[in-house]
Amino acid sequence: MMKLLSQRLLGPVTLVLLALTFWLGLWVTPPDKVQGDLARLLYVHPAIAWVALYLSFGTATIASALYLWKRSRSVVMDRIAHCAVEVSLVFIVLTLITGSIWGRPTWGVWWAWDARLTSTAILGVFAVGYLALRRANDGFELRARRSAVVAILAAINVPIIHFSVQWWKTLHQGASVFTQSGNFKVHGIMLTTLFISLTAFTLLFFWLLRARYRVEVLRDERERVSLDEALAQRRREGVH
């Protein structure tokens, strides 16, 4: 009962928190002293990047590793990894779009071959390659194993993205929330809005992952039924 209730509440709670984020971010929080209203992207861009890089690819990597481990290998892990990469690709694109919107007035260009931007785009290419591999006409186990390996290899790029602003001289600013000593850079209503944003987009990820997983289960079930029907038809033809 509690599980069913939580599933039913996930969507409405996510929508409420997203609406609250946009209301606070657009009309309640003050403009930044340096960037003015442009800094309101702080309540959207970091949360989207959090989902794209860490939450989605982290989920895909863990699920892929569990699939490769024989004791935890199951179709569930393969589906979760597949669906998480799909969601990640959507958020990677949104990360690049919102980053470009932020970068145009800040840097003067929509795109720069900055270390963080480029490595994020490369992760998007890896995600596209992963999804293309999923469409191969190999057997399920072979395709699942290959996909799991690719997902884990692609995830190596995530720490590169994270530390790129420290390893190389880049246009992209450093940490937006914490200082090097671990203290918060933002305070008050701005910090509250930021945490609401991170919570909202985190719940949005789980809602999208759950919805995509259900679609995948229905698709597999439909293919299984179609195969059973085709085999039954061939048997009937063989009898006649």
The ranges assigned to domains in the chain are 40-239
Per the CB < 8 A criterion, the answer to whether 158 and 85 are in contact is no
Most confident residue range from 14-18, 100-104, 134-138, 180-184: 14-18
**Residue that has been written with the tokens 């994020």 in this structure:** 120
pLDDT at 81: 94
AA letter at 131: L
pLDDT at 113: 79
pLDDT at 173: 60
Q: Is 168 left (phi over 0), alpha (psi -120 to 50) or beta?
A: beta
pTM: 0.83
pLDDT at 149: 94
pLDDT at 112: 77
Model confidence at 5, pLDDT cuts 50, 70, 90, reads: very low
Q: What is the pLDDT of residues 10-57, one digit of tens each?
A: 888 999 999 999 998 888 888 777 777 777 888 899 999 999 989 999
Residue 200 has pLDDT above 60, yes or no: yes
DSSP secondary structure string for all residues of 90-117:
HHHHHHHHHHHHHHHHHHSSS----HHH
Gyration radius from the chain CA atoms:
21
AA letter at 132: A
pLDDT at 118: 86
Model confidence at 233, pLDDT cuts 50, 70, 90, reads: low
